[in-house]
Amino acid sequence: MTDPRRLIPRADEILSSPAVENARSYLAEHVIRARINQILSAARSGEIAPQSVMTEVETALQDTTPFSLRPVLNATGVIVHTNVGRAPLPPAAIDALVAAAGYTDVELDLDTGLRSKNRGRAAIEALLAACPGAEDALVVNNGAAALLLATAALAPEQEVIISRGELIEIGAGFRLPELIESTSVRLREIGATNRTHLADYDNAITEKTGAILKVHPSNFRIDGFTSSVGIGPLRQLADQKGISLIVDLGSGLLQSDHTLPEEPDLQAQLAAGADIVIASGDKLLGGPQAGILLGTKEAIAKVKKHPLARAVRIDKLRLNALEASVNTPSNAVQTALHLEPTAYLARTEKVAQAVGGAVINHQGRVGGGGAPEYPLQGYAVAVEESLAPHLRTGQPAVLPRVHQGQCLIDLRCIPTEDDATVIAAIRAAQQKEK
């Protein structure tokens, strides 16, 4: 009997086929060969019939893209959702990414044809205009890098004083104390987890002290018998002792927002006397990943001169996107924070009616280390819990919240024009359940 594997097309035949020739216009050769080898291996093991190999190759190459990240419709009600990329960029920032993708004048003076020393100056000027309490600014790779740079530059070979209630751990198990102490800086912990007083700071300052660090615990809350020290008193103490005051806000709220009454903003911390305030660009600011340092000219000059500044430098793509995010009138984060309640409810009711779901009250969140545990009153469509896996793996992917035996679809972070897409996705998931 003839072995059916003899009928499997040869690799050279497949590589010269029209399907492969077409795929070469958008896929690298090593990607194409890897897909073909996978299919040939499956055919040799009997998982694929020999006569189906070419069809499988065509389908596989059509479904393969040069990148793997998939767009996700965020139906969780969490605005700055780290697992799906935090803040979605506004259209102006997306255009800015495309504009910066080729050759640009990022370090070039087009008038003279000479190298420019103003790398990122446009993004910095946009930040200064949006936050006029700052005298100067610097943008680096991310918030953790900004904190590392600020402490290393303002307290070199010295101690930084921090309250024990502010020794926080951020995502993926990274702890700020360990991050800071990875340089020559040493932390001096003071106070208790729940209560720290001005005297604790005063008593800890010695000739080895370089700065006081105030960290906003943006991803957790401590309630009850608590006490902390504000920026104003710390500024007075820092002036008396001749040391710097660094404030890490994290969430990136430029100006106060009535929707988030307990969330501190950068402008207020600068007005209260911080030498440097640190924030992330991809949280409440609504821009790309970036570490933003705003402060006095003297303090920013020190961080710019530090050798680490080069190591944590931000790329041209995000510089351009950050500038656009600050200069555009609105973004997805602000839109989700300030939904008009009547329209929000009407959209939810329309989706629920279309898919046979129920409308329930649902509390959203800022997420991403902003306004921890602060509820954003809203609504959700409740359907069967079993639909959640189908929604997550559908085309497009829809990420719902699974809670108390229900699959909840919150439209807070869904653009209005995508409501029909959400309805279609839920219906497709329901069909798979039948």
| pLDDT digits 0-9 by tens, 60-74 | 999 999 999 999 999
Q: Is the pLDDT of residue 172 over 90?
A: no
Q: Is the pLDDT of residue 335 over 80?
A: yes
The predicted structure's pLDDT at residue 169: 81
- The residues near 131 (Cβ < 8 Å, ≥ 6 apart) are 254, 255, 266, 267, 270, 294
Lowest mean pLDDT among 64-68, 216-220, 429-433: 216-220
Convert the pLDDT of each residue in 136-149 to its tens digit: 999 999 999 999 99
Parallel, antiparallel or unpaired: strands 159-163 and 209-215:
parallel
With bands split at pLDDT 50, 70 and 90, how would you rate the model's confidence at 250? confident
d(CA 153, CA 147): 10
Each residue of 224-238: pLDDT tens digit? 888 999 999 999 999
Predicted confidence (pLDDT) at residue 218 exceeds the cutoff of 70? no
Provide, rounded to the nearest whole percent, the portion of the chain with pLDDT above 70: 99
pLDDT of residue 281: 96
- Tell me which residue has tokens 């702890």: 175
pLDDT value at residue 177: 85
Q: What's the pLDDT at 278?
A: 97
Is it the case that residue 313 has pLDDT exceeding 60?
A: yes
CA torsion through residues 284, 290, 291, 293, sign: negative
Task: Summarize the confidence of residues 252-261 as an average pLDDT.
Answer: 89
Q: Would you place residue 266 in the very low, low, confident or very high pLDDT band (cuts 50, 70, 90)?
A: very high
Cis peptide before 396 (omega within 30 of 0): yes
> Is residue 171 pLDDT above 80, yes or no?
no
| pLDDT in the model for residue 219 | 66
Q: 169 versus 425: which is more confidently predicted?
A: 425
pLDDT of residue 216: 87
DSSP 3-state percent helix, strand, coil across the chain (nearest 5): 45, 20, 40
CB contact at 8 A, 411 and 348: yes
Instruction: For residues 192-208, give the mean pLDDT.
Output: 96
Asked whether the predicted pLDDT for residue 271 surpasses 90, the reply is yes
Q: Is the pLDDT reported for residue 1 higher than 60?
A: no
Question: Quick one: pLDDT at residue 174?
Answer: 78
Query: What is the full DSSP assignment across 176-232?
Result: HHHHHTTTT-EEEEES-SSB--HHHHHHH--TTEEEEEEE--TT----SS-B---HH
Q: Give me the chain's average pLDDT, please.
A: 94
Helix (H, G, I), strand (E, B) or coil at 248: strand
| The pLDDT of residue 175 is above 90 | no
User: What's the whole-number mean pLDDT along residues 401-425?
Assistant: 97
